[in-house]
Amino acid sequence: MFVRKLKRKTTQNIAVQIVRNDRTKDGKVRQKIVRHMGTAPEGPALEALLHIAEQERLRIEERVQPTLFPSEHSAHAVLEARHRKQSKQPIPLADIRKLEEVKRVCVGFHEVFGALYARMGLDQLFSTRYAMAARLFRQAVLLRLAAPGDSKLAHARQLSKEDGVEVPVHKFYRMMDAVDDRRIARLQSIVAREVTDLLGGKLD
């Protein structure tokens, strides 16, 4: 599913549509309009319409195929936005009292521990075949660092509270089954390397 722009022949406006590719029985790809978002001339109005269309596309995709960890995606979006070059112009607010909180995402531990997790190479621990186990393992590690005393059941409840998705505790145990001896040995090697580096190359 993607956002498409079409220039109108009769006017200077550009149509903005949400489109998906469907494959027919004979194997040919046909584009189907999911939603027509409207038309606008080139310039700020079109950019605003494209932005709205992208948001609507994400909402539609989330309804059709919900992600396991919505807040994880939100956190990544926030972190990416921090690194993008921002306009120096202040955001115009007609009335700050009209601001309404839609969603709250805690990104602190995602940003700090998530970056460390990737730098240590822990995101390479599982192959693509174990994508679900990899995501659960990452969440479990981050939650264990953020709340070390909590149980796996508490972590499952925390995921349900923050992400709005029920994650039964048995899925954590199923993920742990994927952490076999080979992966444990690799984890031990990674941790030993990091600790050795922290101690200046000496490990008694």
Same domain flag for 175 and 117: yes
pLDDT digit string, tens, across residues 113-130: 777 888 888 988 888 888
In percent, the amount of the chain with pLDDT more than 90 equals 7
Its domain, for residue 26, covers 1-65
Query: What's the pLDDT at 78?
Result: 56
Task: Judge whether 97 lies within some domain.
Answer: no
Most confident of 79-83, 129-133, 161-165: 129-133
- Residues with Cβ within 8 Å of residue 14, at least 6 apart in sequence: 5, 6, 7, 8, 39, 40, 41, 42, 46
Task: Judge whether 12 lies within some domain.
Answer: yes
Task: Judge whether 96 lies within some domain.
Answer: no
Same domain flag for 126 and 184: yes
Domain count, the chain: 2
Task: Judge whether 175 lies within some domain.
Answer: yes
Same domain flag for 115 and 59: no
Complete edge-to-edge strand list for the sheet that includes strand 14-23:
2-7, 14-23, 29-40
Task: Judge whether 23 lies within some domain.
Answer: yes
Query: What's the pLDDT at 201?
Result: 73
Task: Judge whether 71 lies within some domain.
Answer: no
Residue 28, class by beta-carbon neighbours within 10 Å (0-12 exposed, 13-18 middle, 19+ buried)?
exposed
The type of residue at 33 is I
Same domain flag for 43 and 117: no
Say how far apart CA 58 and CA 93 lie, in whole Å. 25
Say how far apart CA 14 and CA 126 lie, in whole Å. 45
Q: What is the mean pLDDT of residues 80-95?
A: 59
Task: Judge whether 60 lies within some domain.
Answer: yes
Same domain flag for 116 and 49: no
In percent, the amount of the chain with pLDDT more than 70 equals 66
Please name every residue paired with 29 in a beta bridge, in sequence order, or none if there are none.
Answer: 23
Say how far apart CA 56 and CA 43 lie, in whole Å. 20
- Residues with Cβ within 8 Å of residue 134, at least 6 apart in sequence: 123, 125, 126
Note the helical H segments in the chain.
44-64, 70-83, 108-119, 131-146, 152-163, 169-178, 181-198
